[in-house]
């Protein structure tokens, strides 16, 4: 601040971020954002320099998912801004609160195809909750303040603020109080309706075979305790979505496990045969419902979600409540009756029995290394206490099946968008948000090659993450679909990798290669003990597939089961 109580626009950006509680940003400088980077030196903010702007958004995303805070990204105009798009879409689909600040060419040049000019607000309309084009210094504070309010409120999501270079260089006064945001309050849920709550209670009371569908909304609402209290009081088992894993503990006696395309058979069967589904902060995505027409045909449905547009979207429900989940459950809990649903729970246990013996983790060590072994052993060796950040594909599903997440925000993965390359940058962000946590990257050889340049970011920023690259020499999930549905024509799915141990060496981090299960524990111990980021390449079975599987478009009970030949003799060496 120099000229009589005014600030430059660039200073106002940092003044606003700091007032919003930001101490870390992920970014990459460039021409149109230079005034802002120049002003950054006056503020105590940690800037994490990425190797590609897409990774900056994934880092901010991992940071936000690990901590519940708003992640912040800074990038320049043109390609800097367009590189954000995949990350924004990833955050949008998984409801992560983010604010991205981009530089833009001077306002006089807008629309002229000036150097590094792209219409980033036009491009990002469908992948942000809202965005702003700011052309005057005095509009910066209100825009950023509102951006944070929008990102956090209701169903969270990413917001982009595009600020022209002349707005960054202009001057304005700082009036924080005058910029109190209002518009995010426009569409708050209506107060809870006692009539609707009574309908929900009646359905719960009458249900003989109820199942809770536990989604990401539980963590976003902070409703873990309420969900558990309801489940325990009414004796209702819960099935989890991929993003719901960890929202309620996997090892809880009422936990069934993950539902959907790669859910275990007893979980999907319980859903299909239920007489009541209680959908808590989930959105009936096609990966969890299978064929909609045959989804849970005999179940009444109660759906609670903060986003009204999710209600009655894919699955018509009997009771739809647009509200914060925690608020609803707190209103319901005193009136929930204590129940004993052991006949239903026993039935599910029976279904479970026959599936569990087919489990690949019980394979004896015959010299082959299966990805399922890696996940199971990682879970055991880290006592289930790590924050695991997965990429997208087979390893992601195996991790979801075999790493049992008890803690909240302990699994970070790209669910809705399925963005390959997400894991490493998101894990770096997660570790920065929670330095005390043990953070593991679990990535395939394909996805890891998309963003492994961020290894250097981890080194430069002194961030320790442990990396498990599950290398099967294929884009495995696509190969699996080709094997199952395209008569085994492996079009463009065999993929070569560099020597990951040498690659690690080039980045100055320890690298190891594991090819047998007996070497696994020692390698994991060395990686954990390493001071900085460490990498282990696991050379696993090349043509292994994820089971069970509900083929796309099939009904949820029409699963391809695990081949039972795998389970002749059960043993568990760890």
Partner 1 sequence: MPHVLVVYTDDEPGVLTRVASLIRRRGFNIHSLTVGPTERAGLSRMTIVVDSEAPMVRQAVEHLRKLVNVLEVQQLGERPMVVRDLVLLRVATAPEVRSEVLQLAQVFRAAVVDIADDSLVIECTGSLAKIDALVDSMRPYGILELGRTGAVAMLRGSRKVTPSRSTQSLRTGTGPEAMSV
Q: Site residues (CB under 8 A) for partner 1?
A: 121-122, 125-126, 129-130, 132-136, 139, 142-143, 146, 150, 154, 178-180, 182-187, 307-309, 311-313
> Smallest gap, in angstroms, from Cβ of residue 200 to partner 1?
20
Q: What's the Cα-to-Cα distance from 452 to each of 354, 456, 537, 561, rounded to whole Å?
A: 41, 8, 13, 34
Instruction: Report how far residue 493's alpha carbon sits from residue 511's, in angstroms, rounded to the nearest whole number.
Output: 25
> Smallest gap, in angstroms, from Cβ of residue 134 to partner 1?
5
Instruction: Identify which of residues 104 and 394 has a Cβ nearer to partner 1 in the complex.
Output: 104
Residue from 195, 220, 410, 194 nearest 325 by CA: 220
> Smallest gap, in angstroms, from Cβ of residue 198 to partner 1?
24
> Smallest gap, in angstroms, from Cβ of residue 276 to partner 1?
23
Residue of 165, 300, 301, 464 marked catalytic? 165
> Smallest gap, in angstroms, from Cβ of residue 213 to partner 1?
20
Instruction: Report how far residue 332's alpha carbon sits from residue 209's, in angstroms, rounded to the nearest whole number.
Output: 19
Q: Contacts from 113-120 at CB under 8 Å and sequence distance 24+?
A: 115/31, 115/78, 116/30, 116/31, 116/32, 116/76, 116/77, 116/78, 116/79, 116/80, 117/77, 117/78, 118/77, 118/78, 118/79, 118/81, 118/82, 120/77, 120/81, 120/82, 120/84, 120/160, 120/162
According to DSSP, the residues that pair with 458 across neighbouring strands are none
Instruction: Identify which of residues 172 and 386 has a Cβ nearer to partner 1 in the complex.
Output: 172
Instruction: Report how far residue 128's alpha carbon sits from residue 419's, in angstroms, rounded to the nearest whole number.
Output: 16
Total residues belonging to the chain: 574
Is the link from the previous residue into 267 a cis peptide, with omega within 30 of 0? no
Q: Which two tokens stand for residue 188?
A: 């708050």
DSSP assignment of 428-444 equals HHHHHH-TTS-EEEEEE
Instruction: Identify which of residues 147 and 256 has a Cβ nearer to partner 1 in the complex.
Output: 147
Instruction: Identify which of residues 144 and 386 has a Cβ nearer to partner 1 in the complex.
Output: 144
Instruction: Report how far residue 230's alpha carbon sits from residue 280's, in angstroms, rounded to the nearest whole number.
Output: 12
- Residue 545 CB neighbour total at 10 angstroms: 18
Q: Which two tokens stand for residue 395?
A: 């390893």
Q: In what order do the strands lie in the sheet with 439-444?
A: 411-412, 387-390, 439-444, 466-471, 534-539, 511-514
Instruction: Identify which of residues 118 and 259 has a Cβ nearer to partner 1 in the complex.
Output: 118
> Smallest gap, in angstroms, from Cβ of residue 143 to partner 1?
6
Instruction: Identify which of residues 141 and 325 has a Cβ nearer to partner 1 in the complex.
Output: 141
422 is catalytic: no
54 is catalytic: no
Residue of 1, 42, 115, 350 marked catalytic? 115
CB 189 within 8 A of CB 255: no
Instruction: Identify which of residues 143 and 470 has a Cβ nearer to partner 1 in the complex.
Output: 143
Per DSSP, which regions of 369-504 are E strands? Answer: 387-390, 411-412, 439-444, 466-471
Q: What's the Cα-to-Cα distance from 214 to each of 234, 243, 247, 411, 545, rounded to whole Å?
A: 15, 9, 8, 14, 26
165 is catalytic: yes
> Smallest gap, in angstroms, from Cβ of residue 518 to partner 1?
53
Residue of 375, 477, 549, 559 marked catalytic? 477
Tokens 């518009």 map to which residue? 183
Per DSSP, which regions of 165-280 are E strands? Answer: 171-173, 210-214, 238-240, 255-258, 276-280
Residue of 53, 117, 138, 537 marked catalytic? 53
Instruction: Identify which of residues 105 and 378 has a Cβ nearer to partner 1 in the complex.
Output: 105
> Smallest gap, in angstroms, from Cβ of residue 100 to partner 1?
16
The residues assigned a catalytic role are 53, 115-116, 165, 477
């Amino acid at each position: 601040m120099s000229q009589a109580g005014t600030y430059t626009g660039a200073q106002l950006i940092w003044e606003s971020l700091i007032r919003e509680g930001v101490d870390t940003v992920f970014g990459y400088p460039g021409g149109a954002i230079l005034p802002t980077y120049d002003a950054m030196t006056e503020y105590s903010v940690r800037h994490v320099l990425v190797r590609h702007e897409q990774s900056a958004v994934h880092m901010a995303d991992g940071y936000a998912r690990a901590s519940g805070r708003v992640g912040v990204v800074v990038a320049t105009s043109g390609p800097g801004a367009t590189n954000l798009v995949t990350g924004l879409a990833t955050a949008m689909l998984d409801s992560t609160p983010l604010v991205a600040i981009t530089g833009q060419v001077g306002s006089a040049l807008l629309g002229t195809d000036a150097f590094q000019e792209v219409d980033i607000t036009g491009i990002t309309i469908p992948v942000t909750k809202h965005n702003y084009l700011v052309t005057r210094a005095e509009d910066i504070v209100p825009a950023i303040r509102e951006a944070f309010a929008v990102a956090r409120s209701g169903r969270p999501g990413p917001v982009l603020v595009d600020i022209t270079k002349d707005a960054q260089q202009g001057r304005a006064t700082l009036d924080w109080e005058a910029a109190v945001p209002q518009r995010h309050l426009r569409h708050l849920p209506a107060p809870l309706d006692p009539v609707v709550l009574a309908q929900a209670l009646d359905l719960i009371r009458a249900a003989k075979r109820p199942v809770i569908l536990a989604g990401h909304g539980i963590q976003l609402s902070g409703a873990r305790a309420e969900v558990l209290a309801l489940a325990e009081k009414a004796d209702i088992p819960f099935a989890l979505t991929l993003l719901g894993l960890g929202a309620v503990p996997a090892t809880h006696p009422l936990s069934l496990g993950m539902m959907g395309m790669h859910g275990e058979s007893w979980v999907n069967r319980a859903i299909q045969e239920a007489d009541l589904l209680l959908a808590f902060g989930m959105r009936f995505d096609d990966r969890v419902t299978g064929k909609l027409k045959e989804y849970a045909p005999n179940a009444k449905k109660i759906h609670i979600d903060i986003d009204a547009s999710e209600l009655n979207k894919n699955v018509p429900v009997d009771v739809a409540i647009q509200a914060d989940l925690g608020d609803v459950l707190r209103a319901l809990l005193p009136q929930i009756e204590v129940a004993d649903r052991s006949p239903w729970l026993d039935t599910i246990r029976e279904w479970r029995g026959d599936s569990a013996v087919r489990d690949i983790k019980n394979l004896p060590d015959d010299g082959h290394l299966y990805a399922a072994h890696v996940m199971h052993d990682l879970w055991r060796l880290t006592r289930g206490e790590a924050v695991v950040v997965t990429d997208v594909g087979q390893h992601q599903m195996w991790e979801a099946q075999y790493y049992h997440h008890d803690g909240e925000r302990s699994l970070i993965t790209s669910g809705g968008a399925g963005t390959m390359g997400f894991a490493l940058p998101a894990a770096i962000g997660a570790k920065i948000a929670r330095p005390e946590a043990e953070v593991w990257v679990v990535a395939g050889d394909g996805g890891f090659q998309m963003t492994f340049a961020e290894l250097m970011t981890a080194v430069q920023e002194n961030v320790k993450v442990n990396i498990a690259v599950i290398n099967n020499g294929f884009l495995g999930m696509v190969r699996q679909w080709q094997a199952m549905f395209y008569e085994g024509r492996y079009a463009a799915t065999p993929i070569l990798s560099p020597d990951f141990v040498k690659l690690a060496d080039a980045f100055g981090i320890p690298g190891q290669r594991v090819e047998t299960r007996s070497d696994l524990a020692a390698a994991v111990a060395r990686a954990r003990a390493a001071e900085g980021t460490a990498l282990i390449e696991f050379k696993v079975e090349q043509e292994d597939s994820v089971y069970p599987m509900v083929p796309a478009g099939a009904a949820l009970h029409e699963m391809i089961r695990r081949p039972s030949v795998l389970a002749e003799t059960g043993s568990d060496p760890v």
